[in-house]
Structure 1
Amino acid sequence: MILSGSSTAGPESIGRIDVPTTTVEELEAAHGMRFDALVMDIEGGELQFMRENPALLRQLNFVSVEFHESIILSAGIAECEQLMASAGLVHAETVAECAVWLRAN
């Protein structure tokens, strides 16, 4: 049996693979739009993304994120939650590993 994927990964098993990327700002500029919603399932990259994109978090009205606790641990999830709260987002619901946060109005 071969097991792989984020469900079997832990912090000690993470390697690094560089891949081409595009920033959210580059996507917005290229398409002449401003995003106000984010659906995130990035296999353990949630904390790094949120740390690197505080301005984006402040402009979003909706965030759906699948947390990978086996990779970022509960402390990483707590930091993500703090970053979203600091950006004015409020936790609305969690089902399994998926959490929804909305802009507080």
Structure 2
Amino acid sequence: MAIQVNGTTIPTDEEGYIEDLSLWSPEVAEIMAQEDGQELTEQHWEVINFLREYYDEYQIAPAVRVLTKQIGKRLGPEKGNSKYLYELFPYGPAKQACRYAGLPKPTGCV
């Protein structure tokens, strides 16, 4: 599987996660969102950028509980809750947001 970004083929696994994290760009996230029928807003980008920073620091994608807690600390309690995150990422905040962020599938996600 693969996605096309500006004429470049970016290989993905069977669940749509890119295989080479260095090939990620904001355009990759936009195309993945379009394929899911979503348009990325500033709120989506807050979560995506947070995930990329988290991954840079810890070399792991956070599980949904960690994501929710950390988003709450960083962006405030009105955003650090499952309801808010599921509204942004209906296919699962950790799973879908990590895919858009070009990160591997979080541990503990089925």
TM-score by length of 1: 0.28
Higher strand share goes to which structure? 1
Greater C-alpha radius of gyration: 1
